[in-house]
């Protein structure tokens, strides 16, 4: 029994260990995007829109199929209507007659089949276009999810890199404070130098605290973009060298046809064109055929009224011709035509805006690339200066002020370089989005 309990405890600890490891898994950018596409609530919404479009297609096809309806009616003629037969027809005086029986039952089935209705043909094409539009909106939503997730991920990556630098600087100042304390105790160093170093260390600690708070806020933003519960733990994989992704893409010519938003807008115009056709089709007559079969039962006795049946049947053709409706259909047609004109004009404005966004993104990308290279050069130079200042300070040929100034310049250069790296990556994401290549670009990231 004891061995069994020990085995159960070990198994429980193993499961707990596996659970902790699962919770502590660091998400790469690809992991975050995959999670977002699966769990973001908007994905479910647009998938349902696709299903709604499919059901509308089924609804539209129903107009081609026979419509079958059944009808059952039971009448209890409590007081039957009196009909007057005029005098001379059957007798010299008028006769009062009550036709029919007290009870009457009628049951029938009718089949209607549309033979010609131009609006049905237009509706079929409209539903095909609407299904395509629903698929486009799914892709457009996925692109937006990818963009929001990537931007939030890069923001956390920046805070992580800044925290690493701040922690490294904190350790360096702790070591310097330890040396200065020994020197101060021996009377070699001044108290003001020790105090200045202590102030610098406290500033670094304050920056670490602020950076961690900002990172927590950024993590919540990433969780929201991913559709993750804000209570869940999330850590990202920051061991990747994202500086390796720094490269200017090949110059491309702007083509609005590649943009998902352009495709959606163009498809909406197609739907508006079909709406114009549908409203024109309302002026055409409709032709349908029908067949009816039924039976009637009569009687003055309630019980016998359900046994005395007489069946009947009929077939027919119906033609409905619209003549005048107070210009309602004509007004609706003119409204639809004007909406189509506006949709085309709005598309022209959108194309101009898309091209403007592309050019601005291109300029921003080039500027951020230049700034990144300048900051990298400045960082290398500040690193060399700090090494020389540190060496001179240790030899006593440089003051603490010179060392702290060099160290401050180096930290500023580090921060500028990290920020410029984020700016470049964000600019690259914006650039790829404005040319409709965001999904392919993300797939190439490791």
Q: What is the pLDDT of residues 133-192, one digit of tens each?
A: 999 999 999 999 999 999 999 889 888 888 888 888 888 888 878 877 787 777 777 788
Rounded CA gap, 136 and 364, in Å?
29
Closest CA relative to residue 353, chosen from 251, 253, 261, 249: 261
Q: What is the pLDDT of residues 244-287, one digit of tens each?
A: 667 777 778 899 999 999 999 999 999 999 999 999 999 999 99
- 271 touches 130 (CB < 8 A): yes
State the pLDDT at residue 19.
41
Evaluate the CA torsion angle 280, 282, 285, 286 in order and state its sign: positive
- 285 touches 320 (CB < 8 A): yes
pTM of the model: 0.79
Rounded CA gap, 361 and 356, in Å?
8
- Residue 354's CB: how many other CB atoms inside 10 A? 21
Q: What is the pLDDT of residues 80-109, one digit of tens each?
A: 888 877 776 666 777 777 777 888 899 999
3-state SS of 133-192 is HHHHHHHHHHHHHHHHHHHHHHHHHHHHHHHHHHHHHHHHHHHHHHHHHHHHHCCCCCHH
Does the pLDDT of residue 293 top 50, yes or no? yes
Question: What's the whole-number mean pLDDT along residues 17-36?
Answer: 70
Q: Strand, coil or helix: what is 215?
A: helix
The residues, any chain, with a CB within 8 Å of residue 313's CB and separated by 6 or more, are 291, 292, 293, 294
Structure letter (DSSP) for residue 418: H
Rounded CA gap, 58 and 46, in Å?
19
Length of the chain: 446
Q: What is the pLDDT of residues 135-150, one digit of tens each?
A: 999 999 999 999 999 9
Helix axes 118-185 and 260-281, enclosed angle (nearest 10): 160
- 268 touches 133 (CB < 8 A): yes
Supply the DSSP string of 309-377, one letter for each residue: EEEEEEEEEEEE----STTHHHHHHHHHHHHHHHHHHHHHHHHHHHHHHHHHHHHHHHHHHHHHHHHHH
The proportion of the chain whose per-residue pLDDT surpasses 70, expressed as a percent, equals 91
Domain 25-65+117-284+328-444 is of which CATH architecture?
Answer: Up-down Bundle (1.20)
Rounded CA gap, 365 and 435, in Å?
13
């Amino acid at each position: 029994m004891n061995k069994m309990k020990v085995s159960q405890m070990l198994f429980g600890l193993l499961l707990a260990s596996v659970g902790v490891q699962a919770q502590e898994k660091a998400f790469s950018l690809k992991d975050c995007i995959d999670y977002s596409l699966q769990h973001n609530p908007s994905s479910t919404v647009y998938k349902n829109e696709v299903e709604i479009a499919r059901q509308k297609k089924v609804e539209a096809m129903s107009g081609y199929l026979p419509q079958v309806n059944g009808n059952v009616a039971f009448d209890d003629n409590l007081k039957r209507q009196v009909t007057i037969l005029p005098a001379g027809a059957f007798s010299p005086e008028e006769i009062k007659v009550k036709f029919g029986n007290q009870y009457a039952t009628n049951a029938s089935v009718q089949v209607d089949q549309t033979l010609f209705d131009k609006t049905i043909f237009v509706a079929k094409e409209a539903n095909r276009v609407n299904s395509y539009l629903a698929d486009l909106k799914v892709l457009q939503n996925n692109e937006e999810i990818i963009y929001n997730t990537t931007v939030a991920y890069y923001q956390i990556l920046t805070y992580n890199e800044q925290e690493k630098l701040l922690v490294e600087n904190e350790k360096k100042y702790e070591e310097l404070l330890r040396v200065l304390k020994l020197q101060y105790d021996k009377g070699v160093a001044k108290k003001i130098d020790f105090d200045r170093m202590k102030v610098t260390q406290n500033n670094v600690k304050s920056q670490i605290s602020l950076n961690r708070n900002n990172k927590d806020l950024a993590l919540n933003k990433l969780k929201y973009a991913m559709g993750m519960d804000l209570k869940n733990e999330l850590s990202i994989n920051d061991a990747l060298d994202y500086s390796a992704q720094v490269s200017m893409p090949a110059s491309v010519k702007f083509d609005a046809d590649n943009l998902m938003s352009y495709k959606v807008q163009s498809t909406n115009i197609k739907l508006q064109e079909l709406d114009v056709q549908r409203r024109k089709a309302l002026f055409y007559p409709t032709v349908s055929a029908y067949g009816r079969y039924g039976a009637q039962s009569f009687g003055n006795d309630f019980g016998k009224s359900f046994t005395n049946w007489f069946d009947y049947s009929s077939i027919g053709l119906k033609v409905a011709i619209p003549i005048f409706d107070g210009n309602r259909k004509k007004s609706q047609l003119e409204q639809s035509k004007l909406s189509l004109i506006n949709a085309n004009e709005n598309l022209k404005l959108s194309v101009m805006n898309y091209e403007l966004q592309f050019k601005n993104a291109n300029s921003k990308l080039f500027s951020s690339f230049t700034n990144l290279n300048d900051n990298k050069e400045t960082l290398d130079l500040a690193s060399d200066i700090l090494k020389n200042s540190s060496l001179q300070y240790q030899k006593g040929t440089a003051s603490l002020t010179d060392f702290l100034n060099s160290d401050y310049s180096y930290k500023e250069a580090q921060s500028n370089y990290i920020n410029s790296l984020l700016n470049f990556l964000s600019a690259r994401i914006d650039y790829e989005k404005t040319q409709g290549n965001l999904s392919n670009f993300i797939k190439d990231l490791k």
